[in-house]
Structure 1
């Protein structure tokens, strides 16, 4: 599609150049002929001769110069207008494609309602205790996540572009969930710098996805008991762990790339959302000994 658009642009540019160039050249030629005639008649007057006796010595322009001018000019205007309309329609189609994709996401999320309801009923049927409480909390969190996905998917691209989210608030909310699992796994953790709001021009559902992907990556790819640390500044969100690290950083950021049977979408999602926030994802080695994943931000 991009190549087609480039070729169309070049074709339109060439037509516009011809449309304006040909009549302009003819007009310049006509002006030059008129100037020569005026000069010749001025010389005749200076010599005391009848100026009307001096006739044009140059060949006449082809007939219809004026008509050609207006015709070619009209063609140029139509071409310019057509280019603007085509570009506008191209942008509209792109926005509609994104919105259609989000509509599909919303529909798929709705389909999760049935198994989620069954899971919720099973959790409610369990005897009271730590395991049952944790299951109920997980079901409630999943229910809230599905609601957020549906709400985000139903929003138009314009609505999403104007949304702002406090990263610190989202982090506190998600850590309340992950802290329970961290305690069960014997994972010590630190949270640094989350003292003041850090607002991003990214929908809340996307920020939640990024935070969950970063923290989930630690739990999924490091042994139980591995410590981790989360640092928040106005320009970055950093998650570090004391695990084995990430051997191939480039592969970890590639969609679908995974060697452990998972979907391979975690850090790819983080990278996409980081780009939405005007930043990028940088993977390096942490002082804790494992991976250091930094999501840079433009607040």
Structure 2
């Protein structure tokens, strides 16, 4: 590209130099020759006037009388009828001679000749000057072409590096502008693409982290159920019961995956319905029973019964499962799951008897990668996102004892039934 730009600009300058200098050289040459010829003719006219004055006064005409009218390098010859030819100067040799002939009223003839050596020297100087000017113009054009080529090639190199970085998975925008509107537009488009790619990569990484975290609990529960089936393989009724619960776990896994994908595409999914909150709570109690028995802890359900809430049962189950798991991992003692009304909403609280949330964390426990213990710091953040996407909200009501509250919309059907 640099070579093409330099060659193009240099070609344009050469054409301009040729178009300008050749006609100028021809005009200047003609001007120099014409000026020299005019000087010779002027010398002939002066000499003729002097000769006529001498003849009119009856004075003799000799070369020393008009020698002062002749410039160096000129030859003057005066031919008067009836007299000898009078001359002064050295007659130039060769064909390159400027010559002027003038005749007077008495028949006298004046011939002036001058060598073209001085004229040719002046023409050579003029051509040399034009050549120097043309050479300087070409050199300036080359320097300008190199500078302009570098000025345009450097941004293109940067843009190519930016595109290569985008292709290699480094989506950081460079925010560089070059003062060239077209190149700045390309740089702006690449920066916007980098931002979009960064958002997409962040979303993909977030989906992977959320999926791994959200699927861990159902898979653990399913594994426990399968172990229960293995342990009581001789009791058909127990096997049937555990297999049914295991199938429910599979359905929940499917629901978790579907919910994660839906939330990834549309964080404000309008899938909320009226559902029986007792069924979701019962499912959680059954699901976490093996884990609670394994740790020697209890899960108590308290508060309202027969409440119809508004939301997505699968999402509410995931949020409650995250809160129960959080109590198992970071809390201690009995876990209490309490349902209470709060105006037009239903509040599901999860509380344990552990040390609680450190004061320096507070509500930061809902931020990603923030954890009071050695954990991923994803669970509560995902739970809050799921709750908000479902039209509810998840709050930390108390640090010690730790009380997490899930606020859900209350179904109008439930109000109508209570009013009836």
In 2 relative to 1, CA 274–163 (structure 1 residues): closer, same or farther, beyond 3 Å?
same
- Aligned residue for 1:198, secondary structure, equals strand
In 2 relative to 1, CA 117–294 (structure 1 residues): closer, same or farther, beyond 3 Å?
closer
Could you tell me which runs of 5 or more consecutive residues in structure 2 were left unpaired when the two chains were aligned: 1-164, 411-420
Determine the C-alpha separation between the residues in 2 that align with 1:107 and 1:213: 11
Partner of 2:196: 88
How is 1:264-279 mapped onto 2 (pairs within 5 angstroms)? 264=375, 269-278=379-388, 279=393
Partner of 1:177: 283
CA deviations 1:227-277 (Å, max 9, x no partner) are 54223656674415473562536389375644xxxx756x85234321454
In 2 relative to 1, CA 298–98 (structure 1 residues): closer, same or farther, beyond 3 Å?
farther
Partner of 2:181: 73
- 2:276 touches 2:308 (CA, 8 Å); kept in 1? no
**When the two structures are aligned, how many residues end up with a matched partner?**
224
- 1:236 touches 1:294 (CA, 8 Å); kept in 2? no
How much does 1:163 deviate?
5.3
2:250 to 143, 157, 164: 143
How is 1:1-299 mapped onto 2 (pairs within 5 angstroms)? 8-9=174-175, 11-12=176-177, 15=178, 19=179, 72-99=180-207, 119=227, 121-122=229-230, 125-127=233-235, 135-136=242-243, 138-152=245-259, 157-158=264-265, 162=269, 164-166=271-273, 169=275, 171-179=277-285, 189-192=301-304, 195-199=307-311, 205-217=314-326, 221-223=331-333, 228-231=337-340, 237-241=347-351, 243-244=353-354, 246=356, 248=358, 250=361, 253=365, 257-258=372-373, 264=375, 269-278=379-388, 279=393, 281-284=395-398, 290-295=401-406
Determine the C-alpha separation between the residues in 2 that align with 1:247 and 1:107: 25
TM-score by length of 1: 0.50
Q: CA RMSD in A?
A: 5.2
- 2:222 touches 2:246 (CA, 8 Å); kept in 1? no
Could you tell me which runs of 5 or more consecutive residues in structure 1 were left unpaired when the two chains were aligned: 20-71
Determine the C-alpha separation between the residues in 1 that align with 2:375 and 2:218: 23
How much does 1:212 deviate?
1.6
Determine the C-alpha separation between the residues in 2 that align with 1:110 and 1:227: 21
In 2 relative to 1, CA 114–222 (structure 1 residues): closer, same or farther, beyond 3 Å?
closer
Q: Counting strand residues as a fraction of each chain, which structure ranks higher? A: 2
How much does 1:284 deviate?
0.8
Determine the C-alpha separation between the residues in 2 that align with 1:229 and 1:113: 22
Rg: which structure is higher?
2
In 2 relative to 1, CA 257–295 (structure 1 residues): closer, same or farther, beyond 3 Å?
same
In 2 relative to 1, CA 189–139 (structure 1 residues): closer, same or farther, beyond 3 Å?
same
The farther-off stretch of 81-90 and 120-129 is 120-129
In 2 relative to 1, CA 93–108 (structure 1 residues): closer, same or farther, beyond 3 Å?
same
In 2 relative to 1, CA 244–217 (structure 1 residues): closer, same or farther, beyond 3 Å?
same
Determine the C-alpha separation between the residues in 2 that align with 1:95 and 1:128: 46
CA deviations 1:58-103 (Å, max 9, x no partner) are xxxxxxxxxxxxxx33233333333333333333333444455578
In 2 relative to 1, CA 137–231 (structure 1 residues): closer, same or farther, beyond 3 Å?
farther
- 1:256 touches 1:264 (CA, 8 Å); kept in 2? yes
CA deviations 1:164-214 (Å, max 9, x no partner) are 345x737433212345659x98865334498454337xxx65432211232
Determine the C-alpha separation between the residues in 1 that align with 2:204 and 2:247: 32
